[in-house]
Amino acid sequence: MLMLMRAGIVGASGYLGAELLRLLAGHPELEAAVLQADSSAGEPVRSLYPGLLAAYGDRVLDAIDLDALAACDVVFLAVPAGRSQAIVPGLLAAGAPLVVDLGPDFRLRDPAAYPQWYGFSHEAPELLAEAAFGLVERERTALFGARLIAAPGCYVTAASLALAPLVAAGVIANEGVIVDAASGTSGAGRGLSAATHHAAVNENFSAYKVLSHRHTPEIEQAIGATVCFTPHLAPMTRGILATCYGRLAEPGALSSEEVMAVLEQAYANETFVRVVADLPATRDVHGTNCAHLSARVDPRTGTVVVLSAIDNLTKGGAGQALQAANVALGLPETTGLPVVAVTP
């Protein structure tokens, strides 16, 4: 009988935790062996997410136990900002072979950025240099043999996949980049707030955290350019559509077809990133680990427009974390990850 590798999830009660549970239910090599949570400890999975009943039956969430987690082959942390930095050092000291953090605590290289953007001082700055950035298509080689992976933020994934190849190839200038991105309400997490209440979001479209969103320094770090980032909240549950603008490094140098060719070459061997002729939409990637990209050049203004659509909970969160874990564990990268969208 095949012995499955064991996965632990901390924060299994949240939306990203639930998405991990959904994906692991179909993973042929990994089982969700240890399910833990803070305030939801003692709750049955089925009472929080009835849709997971068939896979998890009467499984109950346990309180956080580092020893139980350290006995797993991989531990996923799906906890709020600032929480992971208090857990990861103990997990690594207890012998956890691989930790994948879905939160922001180990994404930024500069510890001084955390007080500015997240409002807390980093408690384990010595681990920031060790953490591999889990944007697999751009940082794959760093994941081999990693013991700590920082999965990128959802907005960061959409924007970086769109822009990083163009900055690296010198197609667009590395300053004055603009990212306008709209996300579904699940990006705010499972907790209640006035801003994400149905009555506030339904039949509404709004910007938030203008010039101050936490993902701004992470986008800049990932693409190597200065960015003006404006997030928006859209009246949908899942998905991100990012509209990204950059100035051609050499005005008039490239056409839309030539910029598309740069993206196609960058992702020619990637299963989860598709460069498409039509304009991407969030429905095209709903429930998948895929990103759809398309680009246009405006010769009148010398502007490159790149559109990027992802599912924020899958490619922008749990799916990407699982993809990175597959690489680090030596498994086929695509294992357990959906590529066909839920449609219509």
Q: Which two tokens stand for residue 199?
A: 């009555």
Phi, psi angles (nearest 5°) of residue 103: -90, -175
**b/e code 290-305 from CB counts within 10 Å (16+ = b):** bbbbbbebeeeebbbb
| HSE toward the beta carbon, residue 323, CA cutoff 13 A | 28
Question: How many whole angstroms separate alpha carbon 314 and alpha carbon 287?
Answer: 6
| HSE toward the beta carbon, residue 97, CA cutoff 13 A | 13
Residue 154 a catalytic site member: yes
Judging by DSSP bridges, how do beta strands 303-310 and 291-298 pair with one another?
antiparallel
Question: CB–CB of 72/7 below 8 Å?
Answer: yes
The phi-psi region of residue 189 (left if phi > 0; otherwise alpha if psi is between -120 and 50; otherwise beta) is left
Q: Which residue in 154, 228, 244, 290 is the catalytic one?
A: 154
Residues marked as catalytic: 154
